[in-house]
Copies of this chain bind each other. A is one copy, B any other.
Amino acid sequence: MDAYGHLDGMLLAILAAEPAHGYAIAQALKDRSGGVFDLPEGTIYPALHRLERSGLLDSEWSTATGRRRRVYRLTARGRRAADGARRDWSRFAGAIEAVLA
């Protein structure tokens, strides 16, 4: 099961709760989805970079326990995009369900 087309929205939603680093985001995605979205790092890191490049996230390094982590947080635009993603999802899911019904 892949997250095609909805990954960005989910990343934004997770970061809307609180800032987090990539690995933790991946785990949150897996936990919250009940194991459905157990996405490889090669999926999530590039997505985070893309979101940062497009100004929805920003990040900084934190060397917590001797381990370096890049912690991401939503920008103002990112917060708006997170809301937009929720709306887009509703519309999308409603449409699909209307067809499948």
Contacts and interface: CB of A to CB of B under 8 A. Distances in A.
A10 interface: yes
A44 interface: no
B88 A1 contact: yes
B36 A100 contact: no
Q: How many copies does the complex hold?
A: 2
- The A contact surface, by secondary structure, is helix
Interface residues of A, number: 31
A64 interface: no
A86 B100 contact: yes
Given A1-B88, A5-B4, A5-B5, A37 B100 contact: no
Interface of A: 1-6, 9-10, 13-14, 29, 32-34, 36-37, 85-86, 88-89, 91-101
